[in-house]
Amino acid sequence: MRINLTMSVSMSLNGLFMMDLVVLVLVVVNSFQYNGDRIGCEGINADPFIYEGQVMLGVFVPINESPSFKPASVNNTVVRKLGFKFLEAILSTLDKVNQRKNYLDYRLGAIVYDTCHDAEIAVRQSLKFIGSYNPFGYQSDSTCLIRNSVKVNTPVMAVVGPAFSGVSIEVASLLKLFSVPQVSYYASNEKLSNLKRFPTFFRTVPSINETVAAIVLILQRYHWTYINLITDDSEYGESTYGVLFEQLSGTEEHVCIDVTVFLRESPSEPGEVNSRMLKLTESRARVNVLLCSVNLASEALEVVRSWDEGLRNRFLWIFTNMLVGSLPFLHPTYPVDSSDYSRQYNFPIIAHILLIVPKTTNSEEISQYRLRLDRPYGKKTWRESFLMSTCNCIPNGTQPVWNASLLCTEEQQKWCTEQLNGNSLFYVPNTVNSVLAVSEALKKMQDAGCHHCEPDGSEESRATLLSFLRNSSFNGFGNETFQFTENGGAQPEFTVLAYFHEENVWSVFAEYDAHRTDRLYDINESTVRHVLQAHPHSFCSDPCSVGQAKQFLPHSACCWDCKNCSKFQIVINATECFDCSPGFAPNSDSTSCDPVSLEYMSAAKNEAVAFVILSSIAISLWCLTFGIYVKNWNTPVIKASGRETTMVLFVGTLIAYCSPIILLTPGPSIAVCSWAAISPGLCSVICYAAIYVRINRIDRVFQLNNISANAPKKFISPKSQLLFMGIICATEVILLAVTLSVWRPVVTWMFAGPKSYSFREANRIMMVVENLDYNRIICFSTMSLPQFSGMFLPICLMFFSLFHAYKIRKVPYGYNEARSLGLVNYVNAILIALVVILITFVQLQYIELLPLSGFLLTMATNLLVVLVWPKIYTVLFRPEINTNAGVLQRHRTHSQLETILLLNEFEEPNSGRPFTMNDSLRHSMQGLQELTTTVLSRLANESDDNLSVRERAASLACNCTGSRTDVEYRLKSVRRYRSEEFPGITDNERGRKSKGKAVSFRMQDFEPIQRSQDTSGRSSSMLSDENAITPPSCERVNADISILENESDPCGFDAETATRTIF
């Protein structure tokens, strides 16, 4: 290697500065003569192309591939397809700028350098560019710092390019030393946003940092949280890899990378790219993100094309604008119908693609844009090489013709036109804006007319241009406003495109703007559905259901197992189960704790309203019953019922009727809970105290009467009865008071919680119950003694009253309540057992007081209906029974008159005409009395006459106090109906040792006769005439008695009007 240094130093050493010395050293060091294949990119002349102008722009474009890159097909390289398009767009924009009238006072030109997409070559080309003019601020014909460099005598104000990030970083590092403004049209590396490191760098595309942010947002929005990454070891790949990890670490919803494929720019062996890409097929992820330099991305896609269709289409591929040159099918009409040419570039076999590119605008300008094929390039063969690599022929209209034999046919011409202009939408706007940015800044310098505003290439003029560029805002391509950001980049706006392989077209997926609140907007729902139909999700583990937390597997933030949280736990950060506070429960999606509804019995509940209505009806009926009872206070039936005890019974039932209103309407409190413990026992004791005292009194009275009529009767006065009832009720009150003082009633608050426990506060118990559906307030947390202690005394009274009822089962009708009391106690016993079962069943429920209320209502109603209402019925509807005779009758079911009707119906069904009585006779016979065994015994002992028992009974059949009637009765036939021994009667009471017999006779045995004038011989005549008995001392009976004689029955069962049973 030989160093040829041709350098003329005609400058004053006093004008040298430190920076100039550094530049001089760099120029000298980089002035080596390299081999032609190195500097000339495969032998191609590396000298710049000069596009004439009065003020020059340095243009760096990748016309040829890097010598280090060895693609599978030389004619199918990406750079050759895209680099020349960049150049044509720049030169076409310069043409339009120069054609503007009254715009710039000079013509813009360009010095075009081929960077060969190689950072080292680009740096050396940059040094040649610097050496082409006087870097010290003045020009000299002898100035040529680098051998073979082209001397430029016109001022150079700025640089447009390079295209790709790795090359741009190296060039920007050098140009900043000379304050040369640099505008790139395709570089997106995040490092270039560092103004301290690259103060003179600008670009018309957004930073890759913003591109990655858009990718991450899309991944999160559509739940593609498990991805594969393909990157490389280039400057672009390494920086992008770091940006992606930084973006992913700051997201709330984790997006994890399963497989990361690192591609190397210089593979160590053939097939290395294929072997590395095959690792993707082992991943569970369904989304692949490609963040590589353009050359390696192209190689990777070539490998993917060789996979089976099912394996290719298994993935959704996400690309950035770096792959625009690798996608020849961007244009909707690609490919043409010709199978020959579509087969060569058969890219639609990759079915599912999302492409994130800088915001695109389908303007009329882009639809009219065409590559200019008649531009002269001198000795450069860039255009011909581009056309051959793209179309494999030279299109018609190319001037000058390089080789006539290579001209395209008509079919080739059509397809080639599509290839040349098909993807202009993706690169032309950014490239055009880079040239317009410089021209607009030069125009503002020209309009400003300042001291350093002349574009003379001096450092001061470039500094001025730099300041105008930084504040530049202009109408760019498609008449869209363009303005650089603070970091010198384009606005973070992107268009997301989705590829439809069925129709072979691209459709807008969504728009992205980092400055908007909703960064992803204008979403095309039909396109989204199309993409999600094929790739609805991409994750390592299935999402956990509601109420489940993730348990991440070791060393993975996206693979997990799902564990169930409890019913009262919420999921925090999707990974932790957190207990809700007592009384709170998770919401529908288990993300927060909401208060659980509080239930307690109150007037707002339907159950309480129903019981209040029933209680109101019962109280109304009670008032009506009480009024009738008081109004008929002195009637025989009311007197016989025991008025004092019945009034106490009324009080007990009224309290029972009012209790449901007290228990259910106010809501749980200390007072309500206390009354719930007191009311069942207290109401029952009041009622049963009245029942027991009354039944006991009747038992004692009739027991004394059976023993001796003159026996002293103690403690049967009303005051005594009230005293006894007061003592019983006081005993109950004392029992309840002791019980409540030991077990004080408290209100229990029950809360739903993850586990059960309880604690006591001042006047309430706080219970946390596991798996409770709703919070509630109740009175009784357990089945405790206070709930049942009050019922001990009523139950005892119930049994005692039953015992006495059995003893008085044969007393007269008005006093005999044995059967009624049996029914009452039977029903109440069932109620007590039922209420215990129901309270147990509804324990810890807010409806716990409903069974208690129902018990009180039913018990009180049972007592009134069975014990009181029959008396009210007799008073209202059977006044003929509401007499002393009716009260004193012994038949338990029917009155004496009813018995007549029954006998007529049952004993003589075939008789022609039953025995009847008219009203006067019926009223005159109200004095008929039933003869008990005691009465018969007394009659047998006390009678002086020698009348037989049958005769005495007949004489007493009409024991009336009025005057004698004109009708006498003749004994037709007296027969014994039933006889039995007198139970419980001693021989002393009979007056003789012979046993008395109870006999039955029928009133049919008597027939009416005219009264005899001689009554002195009444007894003897009665005895002598077996068919005549005249009852003594009877009222006058004005009645017509019809007797139907029965001739067929000798026993006398044919005609009858009444029956008397004597015990």
pLDDT value for 269: 75
Q: Amino acid identity, residue 899?
A: T
CATH number of 13-186+427-470: 3.40.50.2300
pLDDT value for 1011: 44
Q: At which residue do the structure tokens 């015994």 appear?
A: 937
**CB-based burial, 782-814: b 16+ in 10 Å, e otherwise:** eeeebbbbbbebbbebbeebbebbebbeebbbb
CA of 286: how far to CAs of 257, 258, 510, 538, 542, in Å? 11, 10, 21, 5, 13
- Crossing angle of helices 792-807/670-707, nearest 10°? 20
pLDDT category of residue 626 using cuts at 50, 70 and 90: very high
Task: Tell me if 488 sits within 8 A of 470, measured CB to CB.
Answer: yes
pLDDT value for 503: 74
pLDDT category of residue 492 using cuts at 50, 70 and 90: very high
Q: Of 973, 996, 1005, whose CA–CA distance to 1063 is shortest? A: 996
> Of the given ranges (228-232, 846-850, 1026-1030), which has the lowest mean pLDDT?
1026-1030
> Of the given ranges (137-141, 725-729, 747-751, 798-802), which has the lowest mean pLDDT?
137-141
Residue with the larger pLDDT of the pair 403 and 414: 414
Average pLDDT on 216-224 reads: 91
pLDDT category of residue 1062 using cuts at 50, 70 and 90: very low
pLDDT category of residue 198 using cuts at 50, 70 and 90: very high
pLDDT value for 969: 42
> Of the given ranges (346-360, 528-542, 782-796, 1006-1020), which has the lowest mean pLDDT?
1006-1020
Where are the domain boundaries for CATH 3.40.50.2300 in the chain?
13-186+427-470, 208-362+492-534
Q: Would you tell me which CATH number, out of the four given (2.60.120.260, 2.30.110.10, 3.40.630.30, 3.40.50.2300), belongs to the domain 208-362+492-534?
A: 3.40.50.2300
Asked if omega into 155 is within 30° of 0 (cis), the reply is no
Residues 6+ apart with CB under 8 A from 337: none
pLDDT category of residue 459 using cuts at 50, 70 and 90: confident
Does the pLDDT at position 697 exceed 60? yes
CATH superfamily of 606-745+782-877: Rhodopsin 7-helix transmembrane proteins (1.20.1070.10)
pLDDT category of residue 1050 using cuts at 50, 70 and 90: very low
CA of 14: how far to CAs of 10, 20, 599, in Å? 12, 12, 97
Does the pLDDT at position 916 exceed 50? no
pLDDT value for 894: 46
pLDDT category of residue 845 using cuts at 50, 70 and 90: confident
Does the pLDDT at position 998 exceed 80? no
Q: Amino acid identity, residue 1010?
A: Q
String of DSSP letters for 993-1060: SSPPB--EEEGGGEEEEEPPS--TTHHHHHHH-TT----SS--------B----SS-TTS-SS-S-EE
Topology of domain 548-595, CATH: Tumor Necrosis Factor Receptor, subunit A; domain 2 (2.10.50)
Q: How far, in Å, CA of 571 to CA of 592, rounded?
A: 8
Residue with the larger pLDDT of the pair 540 and 270: 540
Does the pLDDT at position 36 exceed 90? no
Average pLDDT on 643-656 reads: 91
pLDDT category of residue 41 using cuts at 50, 70 and 90: low
Element (DSSP H or E) covering residue 282: none
Rounded to the nearest integer, the mean pLDDT of the chain is: 74
Q: Which residues pair with 549 in a beta bridge?
A: 563
Whole-angstrom distance between the N-terminal and C-terminal Cα of the chain? 158
Does the pLDDT at position 263 exceed 60? yes
Give the highest mean pLDDT range of 21-35, 171-185, 547-561, 960-974: 171-185
For the record, the structure tokens of 80 come out as 């050759």
pLDDT digits (tens, 9 = 90+) for 778-829: 888 777 666 678 888 888 888 888 887 777 776 665 566 777 888 888 888 8
pLDDT category of residue 514 using cuts at 50, 70 and 90: very high
For the chain, give the percent of residues with pLDDT over 90: 23
Task: Tell me if 266 sits within 8 A of 69, measured CB to CB.
Answer: no
Where are the domain boundaries for CATH 1.20.1070.10 in the chain?
606-745+782-877
Q: How far, in Å, CA of 288 to CA of 300, rounded?
A: 12
> Of the given ranges (426-440, 633-647, 803-817, 856-870), which has the lowest mean pLDDT?
803-817
For the chain, give the percent of residues with pLDDT over 70: 70
- Crossing angle of helices 718-742/670-707, nearest 10°? 150
Residue with the larger pLDDT of the pair 933 and 625: 625
Residue with the larger pLDDT of the pair 702 and 434: 434
pLDDT value for 382: 85
Does the pLDDT at position 735 exceed 50? yes
String of DSSP letters for 392-451: SSB-TT-SS-S-GGGB--HHHHHHHHHHHHTTGGGTHHHHHHHHHHHHHHHHHHHHHT-T
Give the highest mean pLDDT range of 300-309, 420-429, 623-632, 988-997: 623-632
pLDDT category of residue 299 using cuts at 50, 70 and 90: confident
Question: 3-class secondary structure for 59-73?
Answer: EEECCCCCCCCCCCC
CA of 832: how far to CAs of 795, 1033, 1061, in Å? 9, 55, 41
Q: Of 339, 331, 266, 337, whose CA–CA distance to 299 is shortest? A: 266
Where are the domain boundaries for CATH 2.10.50.30 in the chain?
548-595
CA of 759: how far to CAs of 301, 311, 373, 764, 769, in Å? 70, 64, 92, 9, 12
pLDDT digits (tens, 9 = 90+) for 870-911: 889 888 988 887 777 666 655 444 444 454 444 444 444 444
